Amino acid sequence: MLFDWGDTLFHAPHAPEVISSYAAERGVKVTDAEARGLWDELWAAGKTPEEIAKGRDLSPDAHRRVWTALFARADRVAPGLSRALYERVMDPNSWVPFADTPRVLRALRERGLRIGVVSNVPAVLRPVFAKHGLERFVDSFTHSFEVGAEKPDPAIFLAAARSLRLRPEEILMVGDHAVDAGAERAGMRVFILPERFEDDVRGLDQVVGMTE
């Protein structure tokens, strides 16, 4: 089983709070709804093909440059907010697991499955999982900046398959975005999680059901 990381196993629930608190520090009133709306706008824009094609996850420098340029839209609310968003939200160490992530990873491990994480990310993720006691459930981590290829490029999925010592056809890739479907071109099966879910329960239990 391969999993995407961001918005599949982990998320950044504090982004609207960063917006409202930073604005307040500069004397700008931003309601919770306005902060949520602004973040949703920025995050949705970040998932468009145009932004993904900029190679932002091939190096830390590219990641900072591309995301900060996108976040510049937030500077209309309060100057410097783009920098604060990048530093406080885009650091993987600030992200937290969805409520169902621990139990699903544990259940899959108990079924004897090899588990890998494959992500377009400019940082090593093992310490992030270790922080939440989840690294023991993951056999391998495949990062775009190390492989030199980003999803949906089949190369990153094939690298992940090699890290698990499995053939692509033996793997199910679980993600939240169309780029994760690039695993099909590598010969894997793919399951894309529903876009909508309740609170911080991502709906990962569906994946456990697929192993029955």
Evaluate whether the domain defined by 2-8+96-210 bears CATH number 3.40.50.1000: yes
Phi, psi of 74 (to 5 degrees): -75, -15
What local confidence, expressed as pLDDT, does residue 38 receive? 97
Q: Is residue 74 scored above 90 in pLDDT? A: yes
What local confidence, expressed as pLDDT, does residue 212 receive? 75
pLDDT tens-digit map of 122-153: 999 999 999 999 999 999 999 999 999 999 99
**Domain ranges, ordered by start, for the chain:** 2-8+96-210, 12-94
For the record, the structure tokens of 169 come out as 């056809």
Over pLDDT 70: what percentage of the chain?
Answer: 100
Of 211, 207, 200, the residue nearest 4 (C-alpha): 207
Determine the length of the chain. Answer: 212
CA–CA dist 123, 105 (Å, integer): 21
CA distances to 26, 35, 47, 83, 94 from 19, in Å:
11, 6, 20, 11, 15
pLDDT tens-digit map of 11-49: 998 999 999 999 999 999 999 999 999 999 999 999 999
198 confidence band (pLDDT: 50, 70, 90): confident
69 confidence band (pLDDT: 50, 70, 90): very high
pTM of the full structure: 0.93
DSSP E strand stretches across the chain: 2-3, 10-11, 96-97, 116-119, 140-143, 172-175, 189-192
